[in-house]
Amino acid sequence: MSIHKLIREGRARLALTEEAFAKLCGVTRATVQQWEREGGTAPARKRQQAVADVLGISVAQLMTGDGSANTAPGPNIRGEVPLISSVQAGSFTEHVDNFHPGDGGMEMISTSVPVNRYTFALRVTGDSMEPEFTEGMVLIIEPELDPLPGDFVIAKNGGDETTFKQLVKDGTEWYLKPLNPRYPIKLLGDSRIIGVLRSVEKRYR
């Protein structure tokens, strides 16, 4: 269905005159006539939300001419980041540059968050962060973000082991807290925060 037919039929369904519809949308009657005429103009961006609200549909449904659609535009993809292993995460910033990626043979993950030089992705393993973060979820991690209490972070111990936990502070002490109560809270101690969670990308296949 064309956008013009959608508006025309939507107005008729609401039993609104051209003048009444125009008033609700904040435009003139002549503008409504243009919207409803095949080959006429479509609503300008600043009017799209008002028209969609009057018709009881989303802006996406309005602009695609599909009044029955149940989908909306996807997120604004800012770029891609490599999906790496927890072991690679420990020294990732020493070897990879997202602005000059080359061909590292890594799987790339599209993300809607801003991508910086060392932004990377990790896959959740284990159940220590359930129920909010389940095994298999893909985490977008930013190493260049200063961690704050309450942030979800990737921490690296003295070896090559990394862990995903919530960073909490009690007095002067910092702790790594699992969300699953079956696991204990541990002192941050000598572990080093190597990245802060920015986004979660759910993948089903």
Q: How far is CA 60 from CA 51, 53, 72, in A?
A: 12, 12, 6
Q: By C-alpha distance, which of 201, 196, 190 is closest to 167?
A: 196
pLDDT of residue 107: 83
Structure tokens at 141: 């991690």
pLDDT of residue 149: 95
DSSP 71-121: --------EEEEEE-HHHHTTHHHH--TTS-----PEEEEESSPP-TT-EE
Read off the pLDDT of residues 136-145 as tens digits, 9 standing for 90 and up. 899 999 998 9
Distance CA 162, CA 58 (A): 43
Distance CA 55, CA 10 (A): 6
Distance CA 41, CA 177 (A): 56
Q: By C-alpha distance, which of 163, 148, 151, 153 is closest to 195?
A: 153
Read off the pLDDT of residues 25-40 as tens digits, 9 standing for 90 and up. 889 999 999 999 988 8
pLDDT of residue 109: 86
pLDDT of residue 94: 46
CATH code 1.10.260.40 region(s) in the chain: 3-64
Low-confidence ranges of the chain (pLDDT < 70): 66-78, 86-105, 159-160, 202-205
| Fold entry, domain 79-201 | Umud Fragment, subunit A (2.10.109)
CATH code 2.10.109.10 region(s) in the chain: 79-201
Q: By C-alpha distance, which of 199, 205, 146, 150 is closest to 179?
A: 150
Assess contact for 77 and 21: CB atoms under 8 A: no
Distance CA 37, CA 52 (A): 18
CATH says 3-64 is which class? mainly alpha
pLDDT of residue 95: 44
